[in-house]
Amino acid sequence: MSPSTDILSEKDLKYLRQAIEISADARKHGQHPFGCIIVDENDKVVTTAENQVPSGDASQHAELRAVSIITKLKDAQTLGNCTLYTSTEPCVMCSGAIVWSGIGRIVFGLSNESLNKLAKLNPKNWYITMNTKEIAERASRPVQVLGPFIEDEAVIPHDHFWD
């Protein structure tokens, strides 16, 4: 996936960098390096989450954890005005959950294509080669997907992680 031609605002870059910081924290906590943040229409951070997959539950991706939290706090109509910022493009499972939750906008750093190039270095890492934009395009309601952005920054928490 080539870098996005979309332009992000300074606010978007701020939140995307926060998601990348969360991914670095996840790695420091012994987790896989993924993090996300959900911001509402009033520019308020509603929730943040880091990956918890090494806990033994494969569904504990950062995005799924954040979606689980926010759907208990806000209704689907309100979620349409929220943005999920994530350090790395959401996987198929997380993309589906984001779409079904009602969240209206996704902004990501590292693309799945770039991540898969790193992850395939270790045969124990499984992945699916389908991107978030494909899933959003097939959704029955509009979901804006923007990315990849600042991949040079988003890749840092993954440095030598997948070796």
Q: How large a percentage of the chain has pLDDT more than 70?
A: 94
Report CA-CA distances (Å) from 25 to 5, 6, 52, 73, 79: 29, 28, 12, 25, 26
At residue 118 the predicted structure's pLDDT band, cuts being 50, 70 and 90, is confident
Is residue 3 over pLDDT 70?
A: no
List pLDDT tens digits, range 44-89: 999 999 998 877 788 899 999 999 999 999 988 899 999 999 999 9
- What's the confidence (pLDDT) of residue 4? 56
Catalytic residue (one of 21, 50, 63, 113) = 63
Residue 119 maps to a domain: yes
CATH number of the domain bearing residue 94: 3.40.140.10
Residue 1 maps to a domain: no
List pLDDT tens digits, range 131-162: 999 999 999 999 999 999 999 999 999 999 98
Residue 2 maps to a domain: no
63 is catalytic: yes
Residue 144, domain extent: 10-158
**Number of structural domains, the chain?**
1
Q: Which residues lie below 8 Å from residue 74, measured CB to CB, with a gap of 6+?
A: 40, 46, 82
Residue 3 maps to a domain: no
Q: Torsions phi, psi of 75, nearest 5? A: -85, 165
- Give the closest residue to 14 by CA, choosing from 85, 113, 115: 85
Residue 4 maps to a domain: no
Single pTM value for the model: 0.92
Residue 28 maps to a domain: yes
Q: How large a percentage of the chain has pLDDT more than 90?
A: 75
